[in-house]
């Protein structure tokens, strides 16, 4: 070989080495660059590689994702969605995802649903009333005048047989004289024939019966028969020891037959009429022991028994009266006093129960948050049964052994889009969510952004009119497949005023809507559509996340 040939061969070898080195360096650099996201996701102390973050999703359930961490307009962090699908978007359709550190900051506490026999105490407000069987009215059965009062004040205590008032009645005097004459006639006709004696005896018995029917006492009758002279007045006495609860008699007044001049109540035994709520009536049984507390005697308990549950319900208060009977030997219990009644009822059979604090009651439905796993919560609509002071029976919605949130459940509501998640009960429900759980991540993400309440539903249409004052827009839109809506003209609320700038009458737009609450559809994003092309000409205008925590 000549010198020129050697030089050419050397140049070829150098070029080949340079090309091979460049390829090796480029490949190594590409490998390092490709592994950068994994390294950025962090390596554990044990050398295990952390999960790869696919993207970050909107914490309010809106169809908005970001490749990098950021906050929404309300200051809430976007939620990372990891490779492997554990934090995939479809879970937001019926679950709530909250980071572990926020769970700790909120003070979330859980307790397992368990089988318990609920001990129930029925509580009711009541009032003291006299025993109706121990109330007596003093009503003369003849016409007359009140001649004199011996007891002249309501509330005065009287003994049995004590004189109450004295009356004068012409009818009474005439009846006494008739009886006195008949009694004397019987004595004077002892030697006469039997027919005359029998006639006079019948007349005397008739006069005596008339006096007795007028409540003349035996003592007064005997005195009349003995003296033979009629008394001008008659004294009425108390039939029982008790309290004068009503006094209508006034000295000198005229009364007619049947007028109640006095009322006397024996308060040695009284009633408590308790207003029991409708849902507790089935638990009360006659004979049950009851505890009664009176504000006038703090710390003192009275005991009695439920003797009767009335058959009628007060429609205004939705309560039924129950009668509790108790003794009152010291006269401490006064008619008209308010009382607190507690009746311990027999425990039912064991049932699935959760603490009362686990139930979020909106008035129209009851929700329990079930912890599916750490940082993941699922709201369940439950059907409740019997209650005790601390626990409530769950007839449907929660199974034995499931962890339910018993503390900070309202804070979880405030931290998440629980309102949108609850909306899925009327549409997707738990059954659909469970079926979607077995799909691939891509399919889940697509379904979660198009078919779940709280996620966006996309459509196209023409703006009919827009009202900036009311924040409403009328759209003549085409079919919306994710909602199975046909083409129609419909009014929507606009999430903010910035969107109204692109909603000019006659403009053709592509839009996105979410159901903020049942029946209220809100436009959250708008983009113009080029006429005749159906494509987009401008980036979408996104609305700030609406506040879903106004109640449900």
| Boundary-marking domain end, from 259, 289, 317 | 259
Closest CA to 489 of 466, 515, 469, 461: 461
- Tell me: do 226 and 144 sit in the same domain: yes
Between CA 122 and CA 146 the distance in angstroms is 50
Residue 262's pLDDT is what?
95
Closest CA to 332 of 298, 306, 297: 297
- Residue 363 maps to a domain: yes
Domain membership of residue 23 as a residue range: 3-34
Residue 74 — φ and ψ, nearest 5°? -90, 0
Closest CA to 432 of 418, 445, 451, 416: 451
- Tell me: do 338 and 406 sit in the same domain: no
CB distance 111 to 438 below 8 Å: no
- Residue 13 maps to a domain: yes
- Tell me: do 317 and 361 sit in the same domain: no
Closest CA to 230 of 148, 175, 166, 167: 175
Between CA 296 and CA 274 the distance in angstroms is 18
Between CA 84 and CA 86 the distance in angstroms is 6
Instruction: Indicate the number of domains in the chain.
Output: 5
- Tell me: do 361 and 285 sit in the same domain: no
DSSP letters for 330-379: T----TT-EEEEEEEE-----EEEEEGGGEEE-SS-EEEEEEEETTEEEE
- Tell me: do 326 and 280 sit in the same domain: yes
Residue 303's pLDDT is what?
93
Pairing verdict, β 488-494 and 520-528? parallel
CATH number at residue 329: 2.40.30.170
- Tell me: do 340 and 353 sit in the same domain: no
CB distance 153 to 248 below 8 Å: no
CB distance 398 to 354 below 8 Å: yes
- Residue 528 maps to a domain: yes
Spatial strand order of the sheet with 262-265 comes to 135-138, 262-265, 242-247, 157-158
Between CA 244 and CA 130 the distance in angstroms is 12
| Boundary-marking domain end, from 300, 327, 345 | 345
- Tell me: do 356 and 375 sit in the same domain: yes
Closest CA to 254 of 374, 313, 330, 171: 171
- Residue 62 maps to a domain: no
pTM of the model: 0.48
Q: Work out the burial of residue 112: count CB atoms within 10 Å of its CB; fewer than 13 is exposed, 13-18 middle, 19 or more buried.
A: exposed
- Residue 90 maps to a domain: no
Residue 127's pLDDT is what?
95
Tens of each residue's pLDDT in the chain, 552 residues:
444 444 444 444 444 444 444 444 344 444 444 433 333 343 444 444 566 787 787 776 666 788 888 887 767 778 887 765 444 444 445 677 777 777 777 788 899 998 888 878 889 999 999 999 999 999 998 899 999 999 999 999 999 989 999 999 888 888 888 877 777 777 777 766 677 777 777 887 787 888 878 877 777 777 776 676 777 888 889 999 999 999 999 999 999 999 999 999 999 999 999 999 998 888 888 999 999 999 999 989 999 999 999 999 999 999 999 999 999 988 899 999 999 999 988 766 788 999 998 898 877 888 898 988 877 888 888 998 887 778 888 999 899 999 999 887 777 665 554 544 454 444 433 333 333 443 434 333 333 333 333 457 889 999 998 888 888 889 999 999 888 888 888 888 888 877 888 888 988 999 999 887 777 788 888 888 876 544 434 444 444 444 444 433
> Which residues 6+ apart lie within 8 Å of 534 measured at CB?
460
- Tell me: do 164 and 239 sit in the same domain: yes
CB distance 62 to 84 below 8 Å: no
DSSP letters for 220-235: HHHHHHHH----SEEE
Residue 61's pLDDT is what?
61
- Residue 176 maps to a domain: yes
| Boundary-marking domain end, from 300, 324, 345 | 345
- Tell me: do 146 and 255 sit in the same domain: yes
Q: Which two tokens stand for residue 9?
A: 């061969």
> Which residues 6+ apart lie within 8 Å of 36 measured at CB?
none
Tell me which DSSP letter residue 79 carries: E
DSSP letters for 97-142: E--HHHHHHHT-EEEE-EEE---EEEEEEEEEEE-GGGEEEE--SS
- Residue 101 maps to a domain: no
CA 421 to chain centre: 22
- Tell me: do 255 and 339 sit in the same domain: no
Residue 225's pLDDT is what?
67
Residue 414's pLDDT is what?
59
- Residue 530 maps to a domain: yes
Residue 501's pLDDT is what?
81
- Tell me: do 248 and 157 sit in the same domain: yes
Buried b or exposed e, range 451-472, using 16+ CB within 10 angstroms: bbbbbbbebbbbbbebeeeebe
Q: Which two tokens stand for residue 249?
A: 């008699």
What is the end-to-end Cα distance of the chain in Å, rounded? 94
CATH number at residue 381: 2.40.420.20
CB distance 524 to 514 below 8 Å: yes
- Tell me: do 381 and 406 sit in the same domain: yes
Q: Compute the Cα dihedral for 15, 19, 24, 25 and give only its sign.
A: positive
């Amino acid at each position: 070989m000549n010198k020129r040939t050697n030089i050419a061969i050397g140049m070829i070898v150098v070029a080949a080495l340079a090309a091979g080195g460049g390829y090796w360096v480029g490949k190594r650099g590409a490998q390092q660059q490709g592994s950068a996201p994994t390294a950025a996701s962090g390596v554990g102390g044990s050398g295990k590689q952390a999960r790869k973050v696919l993207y970050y999703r909107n914490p309010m359930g809106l169809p908005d994702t970001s490749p990098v961490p950021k906050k929404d307009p309300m200051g809430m962090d976007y939620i990372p969605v990891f490779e492997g699908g554990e934090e995939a978007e479809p879970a937001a359709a019926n679950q709530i995802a909250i980071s572990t550190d926020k769970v700790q900051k909120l003070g979330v506490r859980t307790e397992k649903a368990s089988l318990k026999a609920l001990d129930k105490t029925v509580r009711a407000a009541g009032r003291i009333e006299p025993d109706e069987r121990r109330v007596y009215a003093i009503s003369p059965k003849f016409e007359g005048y009140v001649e004199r009062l011996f007891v002249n004040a309501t509330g005065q205590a009287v003994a049995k047989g004590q004189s109450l008032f004295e009356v004068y009645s012409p009818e009474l005097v005439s009846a006494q004289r008739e009886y006195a004459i008949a009694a004397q006639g019987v004595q004077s006709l002892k030697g006469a024939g039997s027919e005359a004696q029998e006639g006079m005896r019948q007349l005397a018995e008739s006069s005596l019966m008339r006096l007795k029917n007028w409540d003349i006492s035996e003592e007064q009758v005997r005195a009349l028969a003995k003296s033979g002279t009629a008394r001008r007045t008659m004294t009425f006495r108390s039939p029982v020891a008790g309290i004068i609860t009503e006094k209508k008699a006034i000295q000198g007044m005229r009364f007619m037959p049947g007028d109640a001049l006095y009322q006397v109540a024996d308060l040695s035994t009284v009633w408590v009429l308790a207003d029991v709520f409708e849902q507790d009536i089935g638990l009360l049984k006659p004979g049950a022991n009851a505890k009664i507390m009176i504000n006038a005697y703090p710390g003192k308990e009275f005991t009695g028994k439920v003797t009767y549950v009335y058959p009628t319900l007060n429609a205004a208060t939705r309560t039924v009266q129950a009668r509790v009977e108790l003794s009152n030997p010291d006269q401490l219990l006064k008619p008209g006093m308010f009382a607190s009644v507690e009746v311990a009822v027999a425990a039912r059979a064991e049932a699935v129960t959760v603490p009362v604090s686990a139930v979020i009651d909106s008035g129209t439905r009851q929700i329990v948050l079930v912890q599916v796993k750490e940082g993941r919560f699922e709201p369940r609509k439950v059907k409740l049964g019997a209650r005790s002071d601390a626990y409530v029976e769950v007839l449907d919605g929660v199974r034995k052994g499931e962890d339910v949130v018993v503390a900070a459940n309202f804070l979880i509501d405030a931290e998440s889009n629980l309102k949108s998640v609850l909306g899925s009960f009327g549409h997707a429900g738990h059954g659909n969510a469970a079926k979607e759980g077995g799909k691939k991540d891509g399919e889940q993400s697509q379904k979660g952004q198009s078919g779940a309440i709280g996620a966006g539903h996309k459509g196209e249409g023409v703006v009919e009119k827009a009202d900036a004052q009311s924040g409403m827009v009328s759209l003549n839109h085409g079919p919306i497949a994710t909602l199975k809506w046909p083409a129609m003209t419909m009014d929507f609320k606009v999430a903010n005023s910035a969107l109204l700038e692109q909603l000019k009458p006659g403009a053709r737009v592509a839009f996105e809507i979410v159901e903020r609450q049942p029946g209220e559809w809100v436009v959250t994003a708008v983009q113009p559509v080029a006429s005749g092309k159906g494509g987009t000409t401008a980036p979408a205008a996104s609305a700030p996340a609406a506040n879903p925590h106004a109640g449900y």
